[in-house]
């Protein structure tokens, strides 16, 4: 990402509007934009923030080339605007929720403040980067929560929708809960552990399954996992694997690592395989399963007593096949007039698409006794949140639903990433992000929020002042339309 100039990866209307803003004397107008999403994938209780590192790298490298400028000229853009782009320098402030944080619908996860041309220009990449990786991280976490202590490996590179989706999808999957990936470049570039053994081609090339296993075991005696379903798992695969372990691995002073089953009734086969391996003295030999797995198949396998230690999940993870769109949006919420943010609101016949106006902060309220998150609260940007006092939460849509919380701590979620175009944030190492994500989900989310079916609704509330301002604008525009 750092070596690629992706400035032109924009929807053309962003440039058309930018040219229009410039022509109308609005290039220095300061606007606030929020990125938020409306629905958790797979009807889950929460999502996971991911992709910030790549967004930071993109924003650091914004620049237009001569080739870009020539395209704008052919498109009929104003010469003054083209000159402006020639000397383009990113000058926005950007805030973001850190990667690995559980996030919920309706709350800003990226906030951009700056000259409207610039804030509008980055819309596509903000959405593209955060939507994709948050989607995959969320899916990976569902898999990990089902697997528990068992290993989950991301195996989807060849089924990803393009090489960037493979690379950054594997990164996001690791943040969300996967233990390793088959995508080797991710270990080089991000430090995600890359794993893999053999394909069926290895066995078929030798013609004889036992000789294929022996050759592999001789080559990798210290890390020997054999794929046992090329011909027949129980009649040849496992018996031949046991022979290879005894003849090639043990004499070299090592223990076999595992076998992998990639087809058939894996639950049934794993039970039989476990018994055969144990009887041969290989109680420590792991059983790996792959083959179009997802969280529901894995859950059923475990409930049915499958003797599987590790799961390799490919296409249904890397494409989030069950719900492949995250759906984050990027909306203007305020415009500065004389240095003061004046709110803007988008109305819609679809109530869910009505935006929450105003420059805002986001707070997460934690119960001091349990450490669990109670709710998130959006406030006006200049509101002070005093968590030494009781706070009354209320449902923004059903305002009679109210709850007073005490003995809590309010923590701001948004962290400043760019200050007037200069990066002021050190992106953590990916292992730190993964550890943080694990801790946040384990320690701060109630089990009811983590349910797959009918999860508890985690509330994202508005402060009284923000709610009043939103309703004032709704009333104002309602009167104008009559």
Domain coverage including residue 160: 140-318
Contact 151, 311 (CB under 8 A): yes
**pLDDT values of the chain reduced to their tens digit, one per residue, 482 residues:** 556 889 999 999 999 999 999 999 999 999 999 999 999 999 999 999 999 999 999 999 999 999 999 999 999 999 999 999 999 999 999 999 999 999 999 999 999 999 999 999 999 999 999 999 999 999 999 999 999 999 999 999 999 999 999 999 999 999 999 999 999 999 999 999 999 999 999 999 998 999 999 999 999 999 999 999 999 999 999 999 999 999 999 999 999 999 999 999 999 999 999 999 999 999 999 999 999 999 999 999 999 999 999 999 999 999 999 999 999 999 999 999 999 999 999 998 888 889 999 999 999 999 999 999 999 999 999 998 999 999 999 988 889 999 999 999 999 999 999 999 999 999 999 999 999 999 999 999 999 999 999 999 999 999 999 999 999 999 998 777 65
Same domain, 307 and 373: no
**1 belongs to a structural domain:** no
> Is the same domain home to 76 and 198?
no
Single pTM value for the model? 0.96
Last residue of a domain, one of 318, 352, 374: 318
Distance CA(304)–CA(374), nearest Å, equals: 35
Domain identity same for 291 and 167: yes
Is the same domain home to 346 and 307? no
Residues 472 and 352 reside in one and the same domain = yes
Query: Is the domain of 385 the same as that of 470?
Result: yes
Residues 292 and 160 in one domain: yes
Judge whether 6 lies within some domain: no
The domain boundary residue, chosen from 318, 344, 373: 318
Residues 145 and 132 in one domain: no
Is the backbone of residue 357 left (phi > 0), alpha (psi -120 to 50) or beta? beta
Q: Among all chains, which residue has been given the structure tokens 């004889």?
A: 208
Distance of alpha carbon 437 from the chain centroid: 11
224, 253 contact by CB (below 8 A): no
Residues 394 and 430 in one domain: yes
Residues 294 and 155 in one domain: yes
Residue 7 lies in a domain: no
- Is the CB of residue 444 less than 8 Å from the CB of residue 411? no
Q: Integer distance in angstroms from the first to the last C-alpha of the chain?
A: 50
The count of other CB atoms within 10 Å of the CB of residue 56 is 21
Q: Which residues of 454-466 are buried (b: 16+ CB within 10 A; e: fewer)?
A: ebeebbbbbbeeb
Asked whether residue 5 is domain-assigned, the answer is no
What is the domain-level CATH number for residue 30? 3.20.140.10
CATH number, position 170: 3.20.20.70
Do the domain assignments include residue 217? yes
Question: Would you state the pLDDT for residue 207?
Answer: 85
Angstrom distances, CA of residue 261 to CA of 147, 238, 289, 397: 17, 10, 5, 50
Same domain, 98 and 181: no
- Give the total number of structural domains in the chain: 2
Radius of gyration of the chain, Cα coordinates, nearest whole angstrom: 27
Q: Which residues pair with 362 in a beta bridge?
A: 378
Last residue of a domain, one of 318, 352, 369: 318
Angle 430-444/163-176 helices, nearest 10 degrees? 50
How many Cβ atoms are within 10 Å of 340's Cβ, its own excluded? Answer: 10
- Give the pLDDT score at 480: 74
342 & 463 share domain: yes
pLDDT of residue 209: 98
């Amino acid at each position: 990402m750092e070596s690629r100039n992706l400035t032109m990866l924009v929807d053309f209307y962003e440039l058309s509007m930018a040219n229009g803003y410039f022509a109308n004397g609005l290039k220095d107008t300061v606007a606030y934009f929020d990125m938020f999403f409306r629905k958790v994938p797979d009807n889950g209780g929460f999502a996971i923030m991911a992709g910030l590192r790549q967004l930071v790298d993109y924003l650091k490298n914004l620049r237009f080339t001569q080739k870009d400028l020539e395209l704008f000229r052919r498109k009929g853009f104003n010469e003054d605007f083209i000159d402006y782009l020639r000397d383009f320098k990113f000058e926005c402030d950007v805030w973001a929720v850190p990667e690995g944080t559980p996030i919920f619908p309706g709350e800003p996860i990226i906030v951009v403040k700056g000259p409207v041309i610039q804030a509008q220009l980055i819309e596509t990449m903000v959405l593209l980067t955060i939507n994709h990786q948050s989607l995959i991280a969320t899916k990976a976490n569902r898999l990990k929560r089902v697997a528990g202590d068992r290993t989950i490996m991301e195996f989807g590179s060849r089924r990803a929708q393009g090489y960037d989706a493979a690379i950054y999808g594997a990164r996001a999957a690791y943040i969300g809960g996967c233990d390793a990936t088959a995508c080797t470049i991710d270990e080089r570039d991000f430090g995600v552990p890359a794993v893999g053994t053999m394909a069926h081609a290895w066995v078929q090339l030798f013609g004889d399954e036992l000789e294929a296993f022996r050759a592999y075991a001789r080559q990798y005696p210290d890390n020997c996992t054999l794929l046992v379903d090329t011909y027949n798992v129980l009649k040849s695969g496992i018996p031949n694997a046991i022979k290879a372990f005894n003849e090639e691995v043990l004499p070299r002073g090592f223990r076999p690592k595992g076998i992998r089953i990639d087809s058939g009734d894996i639950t049934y086969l794993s039970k039989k395989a476990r018994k055969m391996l144990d009887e041969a003295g290989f109680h420590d030999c792991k059983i790996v399963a792959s083959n179009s797995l997802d969280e529901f198949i894995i859950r059923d396998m475990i409930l049915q007593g499958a003797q599987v230690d590790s799961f390799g999940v490919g296409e249904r993870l890397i494409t989030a096949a069950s719900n492949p769109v995250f759906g984050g949006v990027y909306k203007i919420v305020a415009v500065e007039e004389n240095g003061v943010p004046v709110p803007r609101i988008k109305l819609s016949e679809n109530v869910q698409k009505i935006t929450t106006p105003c420059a805002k902060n986001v707070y997460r309220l934690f119960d001091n006794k349990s450490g669990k998150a109670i709710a998130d609260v959006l406030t006006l940007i200049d509101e002070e949140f005093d968590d030494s006092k009781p706070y009354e939460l209320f449902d923004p849509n059903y305002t009679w639903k109210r709850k007073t919380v005490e003995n809590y701590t309010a923590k701001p979620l948004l962290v400043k990433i760019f200050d007037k175009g200069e990066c002021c944030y050190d992106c953590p190492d990916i292992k730190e992000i993964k550890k943080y994500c694990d801790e946040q989900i384990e320690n701060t989310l109630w089990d009811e929020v983590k349910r797959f079916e009918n999860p508890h609704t985690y509330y994202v509330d508005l402060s009284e002042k923000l709610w009043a301002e939103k309703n004032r604008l709704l009333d104002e525009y309602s009167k104008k339309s009559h």
